[in-house]
Structure 1
Amino acid sequence: MSTQVMVRRNFKHIARNPTSVFNAVLMPIVIMLMFVYMLGDAFSVGVDYVDYATPGLMLLAVCYGLGATATSVNSDMTKGIINRFKVMDVSRGAVLTGHVVASLLTNLVAIAALVGVAFLLGFSTSASLLDWLGVLGIVVLLGVAAGWFTVALGLAAKSPETAGLATVPLVMLPFFSSAIVPAEKMGPGLRQFAQYQPFTPIIETLRGLLDGAPAAGDVIPALAWCAGIAVAGYLWARATFKKRA
């Protein structure tokens, strides 16, 4: 059975779960409306707040869909589905890759909806077509990295409930980055954490691309973090799957 079949199976499971759809697609839009309309005037960021916040909320949209992926992976492991796949001669790679690609597709739908709402709220950009392609590339790299890491978390968890909880730190981490406010406006300790955690250079790369002026000082760390997380998640997922299956 091919990866394409597994992707279709997992994507249908996500689409048929109202909670997953809300968390992955609608929740980031709700947060955007809350920050732009309720709190945006409270932040001094030098530009329209919707322009500042959109790149960070794009990353947040990736993170909010991870809980469903971790839960689905763990359910496959704990409810005997994997044993059925063995009888059907489904490859280990197809099972894991199917979850990652389904998660990535969900991320792309969520980000497309978020950017559409951002434009309705007055979002403006100086990005060229090449810059937009760069945005897409970063989003895909981030989605793949987060997908593999989440699959690994789901495989390592003991139950679907704990698998969903394992992704909470990933959901919260963007709030302690430059997604909502510039890192330099934060207090000591938190400022240093925000500056050096993985999500900040990724957000700043997206922000630079959407401004039409990406900086190499952000792009290189962003690519390095995405690649490192993807490789670590992939190796962890493969090793855990082999051990448990």
Structure 2
Amino acid sequence: MTTLTAEHPAATPSSRQSHVLADAVTMLRRNLLHIVRYPGLTIFVIGGPVVFLLLFVFVLGGTLGAGLPGVDPAAGREAYLAYVMPGILAVTIAGTGGGAATTVSMDMTEGITARFRTMAISRAAVLAGHVLGNTLQAILAVVIVLGVGLLVGFRPSAGPGEWLAAFGIVALISFAVSWISVALGMNAKSVETASNLPTLLVLLPFLGSGFVPTGSMPQWMQWFAEYQPFTPVVETLRGLLLGTPLGWSPALAIGWSVVITVVGYAWSLAIYERKSIR
């Protein structure tokens, strides 16, 4: 008797979808176990942003906060903590990309992915397991880093609706970063290269409005700073948590997240398919 699977040509659309979901849950469980067994990556993902938070607020915050528009110099540090917190959250999300790229690259180089390709497992589900696991890790990291921010004096004014919307933005950009990081990890020739490539994502919040207003940057840099993917994410989180004007930031944040997700998904699947026929 033949068992219908997600890859079986005789499977109906509904049965194919159910198998893909079941395979994705199995792969997600595998990646969550990997995160539990190797907590060093999670600790690093959380530790880096916490260090940045403490450094920028308690060492540089007084000076940087006093330079913010309309801020009383005497309250510079408190004002800067409120300003920089969304940027720190963006760095946290971007920093999780290294873990996704590393784990998928390890699977590729150690032959685990090749073994999956010989089994009746949905190819999209294999990749989705990495993506969903990393997305959950990113959300957990954001919650912990936000908790540290609250401990050192961050006081958002958001209501339940704004918190829910902020959570949605965090989940969406985390999902997008996970897909592009998986693609980078699959395309890398070694685990070392894979772990370094997503580091470029961490630079984007620094080159946007995460740490200083874009208006304070040189004219030639301002256009990039204002329209790169993480600036609308930061401005959306800042508006939702602190009540600053949102403008077009939510639409741009969602748009960038969708574009990055589609590119990461298509690129990852193309690499998977190409290596499957070798």
Q: TM-score, normalised by structure 2?
A: 0.84
Give the fraction of aligned pairs with identical amino acids, expressed as a percent.
41
Residue 214 of structure 1 deviates from its aligned partner by: 5.1
Q: Which deviates more, 4-13 or 156-165? A: 4-13
Instruction: Say if 1:175 and 1:91 are closer, same or farther in 2 by CA, change over 3 A.
Output: same
Q: Confirm or deny that 1:161 pairs with 2:192.
A: yes
Deviations 1:91-131 (A, max 9, x none): 21221000001111111111000111111111111111000
Deviations 1:163-201 (A, max 9, x none): 112112111121111111111111222222211211111
Larger radius of gyration: 2
User: Counterpart of 2:15?
Assistant: none
AA paired with 1:159?
Answer: S
User: Counterpart of 2:272?
Assistant: 241
Q: What number of residue pairs does the alignment pair up?
A: 245
Shift >6 Å, 4+ stretches: none
Q: TM-score, normalised by structure 1?
A: 0.94
What is the CA RMSD across the aligned residues, in angstroms? 1.5
Query: Which structure's relative contact order is higher, taking Cα pairs within 8 Å and 6+ residues apart?
Result: 1
User: Counterpart of 1:30?
Assistant: 51
**Cα distance in 2, alignment partners of residues 96 and 235 from structure 1:** 11
5 Å-filtered alignment, 1:8-87, equals 8-43=29-64, 44-45=67-68, 46=71, 48-87=79-118
AA paired with 2:33?
Answer: K
Deviations 1:128-177 (A, max 9, x none): 10000110010011011111111111111111111112112111121111
Instruction: Say if 1:214 and 1:135 are closer, same or farther in 2 by CA, change over 3 A.
Output: farther
**Cα distance in 2, alignment partners of residues 109 and 69 from structure 1:** 15
AA paired with 1:80?
Answer: G
| C-alpha contact (below 8 Å) 1:25/1:109 kept by paired residues | no
**Cα distance in 1, alignment partners of residues 119 and 262 from structure 2:** 28
**Cα distance in 1, alignment partners of residues 118 and 260 from structure 2:** 32
Q: Which deviates more, 41-50 or 223-232? A: 41-50
| C-alpha contact (below 8 Å) 1:204/1:218 kept by paired residues | yes
**Cα distance in 2, alignment partners of residues 222 and 93 from structure 1:** 25
**Cα distance in 1, alignment partners of residues 211 and 33 from structure 2:** 32
| C-alpha contact (below 8 Å) 2:45/2:96 kept by paired residues | yes
Aligned counterpart in structure 1 of residue 215 of structure 2, from 172, 177, 184: 184
User: Counterpart of 1:100?
Assistant: 131
Q: Confirm or deny that 1:211 pairs with 2:242.
A: yes
Q: Confirm or deny that 1:146 pairs with 2:167.
A: no
Residue 55 of structure 1 deviates from its aligned partner by: 0.7
Task: Mark the runs of 5 or more structure 2 residues left unpaired by the alignment.
Answer: 1-21, 72-77
| C-alpha contact (below 8 Å) 2:42/2:141 kept by paired residues | no
Task: Mark the runs of 5 or more structure 1 residues left unpaired by the alignment.
Answer: none
Structure 2 counterpart SS, 1:192: helix
| C-alpha contact (below 8 Å) 1:3/1:97 kept by paired residues | yes
Residue 87 of structure 1 deviates from its aligned partner by: 4.3
